[in-house]
A and B are shown apart, each in its own frame.
Chain A
């Protein structure tokens, strides 16, 4: 039986707080933890499949044009080679998140350097790899593909445009104004598990083990790509070795494995090489951002301008939503916001952890530091003075707003010294020491979700959904929510995820996973509780369950009388989405060392304080926060995709040249969880936390660099060469 709940009103009943099991929010270790630490958790490429052939993708070595011939004979006589697949249904790009339809197909048309054009299948991986290298391909090159975002006429994203009041006038008249331009480089998700798929046919039924974040959309995308019915497709992603946006939509190897397995009549595994993952999946667009801020004598904003230029391939709808939080984070009645997209031939731009705020917030929050200095007030105080009552553009109330608390609690925990600041106040040997701060904001999303909960006759529970756990903690929080609602130790709750045979979840992305699927489990559990309450002649809201028993001693097994009790929860956000502006908020504080002679920056201390609704598991929530802060360090100091200006190919397409933070780059990190209940966010009063931790953190580091050594930089990442060049004599 399905129970549908569409949320039109805030739910401030906080029912979960009244439950008796007392497990929700607790820092419980992950229930799948032992499987992960012993290497027994199977990821996509690791399922034992009989008679599995191996496929290796072949990628284009031109920027734009057409594949005119593929010389199959050049490899078919090589040992073990079974087939060369260049089916027109092969995908040439990964699907954007929530696309729900096949991505671009037709491998003969080349749109970017590194685009998949064929798949070589052989008995062993070594044979397939060798043959793929030797495949002779001829092209007709279409010269003159634009590669530089600055050289084309950009397209305005009109739904992002805001003209409110007169910003130019406000800038001219204001006591203090700044007009600064920032740049950020492209970024890669670089999830540790490369994109992989094993496809197996049984007649017209297809099963694919893949590494994907959103099976509920991916099944539609795959079925569409293959012209199949969804009912004939099964996708399995029980463990996903990181996604960060790169596995939101199906990627090229999934469709390639399916087509190849059909053609060669046996299962086929395709694992992208690390270089291919960099080249064929998603990049975060580079950005150029102009910030105009105008403030009165007291630092109160009267004007706010944020314009951004991003890029993507022709035909892609995604535009890095740089302005997402700029629309509501600070006041200022005169506003100009605009987002432009340049169409260029680098690989697909798409979601990389915290699309939008990940790069928009570091620019805005560094500009706020420039403004604080100009006004002559403390940067924490500047932010506190500019928190708007309501959404400054839409006029909507905020669902909840913890920015002030995060700023204050974060400042106190960090030991922030209030007052105007001057750079170069502290030096130890070769090192300048400084501190900086920034606000955090990330829009809250919640999505339709379904989950089945079965209270088994033996007094255990089973949760089933196609939702994924990409390291976020989904397995564990669902066991906690079901345990809390049904009065069970989470050890007695079995959670089955990542299989499209289960009810459709929301997928993992946009930080909406926990609040959405948690709400579906909550709805299902509530319906089960109603049934149980009826059995003992009480109402659901009075039903108390703890350790499988009621206070009067009846056990769940007695009440169930040998029968399982199952309910499918179907949660859907309704008017709450339109009636409120909803966001997670927070604050970052960082202490850095900058070497006077080399320009090297080291982060010595970093703290984040975050308010994101109900904390479902204090351990996994904190882990999400430290993960985000770690990404902030990479974004601030090292991460940059570098493209060859001649052909647009990605030069640093591996983990030796694209520098993600390593152990020694990351100090011990402090996290302050600012607890709140946000009833307009979801019926479990929770918001997302997967991305908030990197929305602004890089600016805290940038501002600390300035405070330490006096180098005021406007280009991320702040590599030693840039720091040295920006340092005063």
Chain B
């Protein structure tokens, strides 16, 4: 891969929303701080820096994680998708549109994490991953509001928009089913 005119090995870069970036020198840099401070993608939020609030949720190779709980240097060659990669003000994703319509936020600070989390969460349900709210550990998972609430419980919203967030996710999930 060519980066800034130089040939670099894939393992020296993290790909974020389709663009490759060099891994920072300081091994202490979390993936979250790498996104916010090093490459200027501040859509991913720092709420607690300890994996307790979910505001920093991003997708790594399609799977949601708390980006504050992992170091940038551990993501050689990984493919990261942040809120900026899911949609833009001009072309928002279905979930982003639904959050606006259902007022699935207030202050907006937990919102990118909620949306990244919900994006991956719907995939997890579709793939049949069970949760504490599932009726069975085997077979198809029924997409219920309780199932959504359980799976989204790692994403805190202090404004208390939960009821609207669930409505937004259900709206998109219903659209996907139809």
Give the B-binding residues of A (Cβ under 8 A): 29-30, 32-43, 45-46, 48, 124-126, 130, 189-194, 239-244, 271, 273-274, 470-473, 619-620, 622-624, 626-631, 654-656, 660-669
Contact = CB atoms under 8 A, between A and B. Distances in A.
A39 B92 CA distance: 11
Given A124-B26, A126-B29, A627 B89 contact: no
B83 A38 contact: yes
Contacts of A189: 158
Given A30-B100, A193-B47, A46 B42 contact: yes
B127 to A, nearest CB: 20
A48 B40 contact: yes
A39 B84 contact: yes
Nearest to A271: B46
B160 A631 contact: yes
Interface in B98-134: 99-101, 103, 105-112, 115, 133
B107 A37 contact: no
Contact of B92 (A37, A619, A667): A37
Contact of A36 (B55, B86, B105, B155): B105
Select the residue from B52, B87, B109, B160 with max chain A CB neighbours within 10 A.
Answer: B160
A628 B160 contact: yes
Contact of A29 (B55, B101, B115, B163): B101
Given A193-B107, A244-B158, A470-B107, A40 B43 contact: yes
A274 B160 contact: no
A235 to B, nearest CB: 18
Nearest to B154: A662
Contact of A623 (B41, B106, B112, B149): B106
A192 B160 contact: no
A626 B164 contact: yes
A368 B87 CA distance: 51
Interface in B6-39: 26, 28-29, 33, 36-37
Which of A36, A655, A662: most chain B CB closer than 10 A?
A36
Nearest to B44: A39
B74 interface: no
23 contacts: A35-B108, A36-B105, A36-B111, A37-B83, A37-B108, A37-B112, A38-B83, A38-B87, A39-B83, A40-B88, A124-B26, A126-B29, A192-B55, A192-B158, A241-B109, A242-B159, A470-B107, A622-B103, A654-B52, A661-B160, A662-B154, A663-B165, A668-B166
A192 B52 CA distance: 11
Contacts of A29: 100-101, 103
A654 B109 contact: no
Interface in B120-173: 133, 145-146, 148-150, 152-167
B82 interface: yes
B59 interface: no
B107 A191 contact: yes
Question: Chain A CB within 10 Å — which of B146, B153, B158 has the most?
Answer: B158
A470 B107 CA distance: 5
Most B CB within 10 A of own CB, among A38, A124, A126? A38
B45 interface: yes
Given A40-B43, A471-B159, 11 more contacts: A33-B99, A38-B43, A39-B83, A46-B36, A193-B47, A242-B159, A470-B107, A623-B106, A627-B106, A661-B160, A668-B163
Contact of B106 (A41, A472, A661, A662): A472
B158 A38 contact: no
Q: Which 8 A-B pairs have the closest CB atoms?
A: A39-B43, A630-B160, A241-B109, A471-B107, A36-B108, A471-B106, A627-B160, A39-B83
Nearest to B110: A192
Interface in B47-75: 47-50, 52-53, 55
Contact of B162 (A192, A240, A663): A663
A623 B88 contact: no
B162 A666 contact: yes
Contact of A664 (B55, B97, B105, B150): B150
Given A30-B100, A190-B158, A192-B45, A656 B52 contact: yes
Secondary structure call for the B interface: loop
B106 A660 contact: no
Contacts of A190: 158
Contacts of B111: 36-37, 39
A629 B163 CA distance: 11
A204 B37 CA distance: 28
A471 B105 contact: yes
Nearest to B148: A663
B42 A42 contact: yes
Interface residues of B, number: 65
Given A39-B83, A631-B160, A192 B44 contact: no
A33, A654, A663, A666 — most chain B CB neighbours (10 Å): A663
Nearest to B132: A664
A27 B48 CA distance: 33
B152 A192 contact: no
Contact of A655 (B40, B156, B167): B156
A192 B109 contact: yes
Contacts of A241: 45, 107-109
A431 to B, nearest CB: 15
B88, B107, B146 interface centre (most CB from chain A within 10 Å): B107
A620 B152 CA distance: 22
A472 B162 CA distance: 15
A239 B109 CA distance: 9
B159 A663 contact: no
A655 B53 contact: yes
A603 to B, nearest CB: 12
A664 B149 contact: yes
Contact of A663 (B26, B48, B87, B149): B149
A78 to B, nearest CB: 13
B158 A660 contact: yes
A34 B96 contact: yes
Contact of A669 (B53, B115, B133, B163): B163
Contacts of B165: 663
A46 B156 CA distance: 21
Contacts of A35: 89, 108
A39 B112 CA distance: 6
A37 B112 CA distance: 6
Contacts of B87: 37-38
A628 B163 CA distance: 12
Contacts of B45: 43, 192-193, 241
A655 B48 contact: yes
Contacts of B152: 663
Contact of A654 (B48, B107, B146): B48
Contacts of B29: 126
Contact of A242 (B103, B153, B158): B158
Contacts of B161: 623, 626-627
A103 to B, nearest CB: 23
A657 B47 CA distance: 15
Contacts of B28: 126, 130
Given A125-B33, A620-B103, A662-B153, A38 B84 contact: yes
A273 B53 CA distance: 13
Contacts of B164: 623, 626
B81 to A, nearest CB: 12
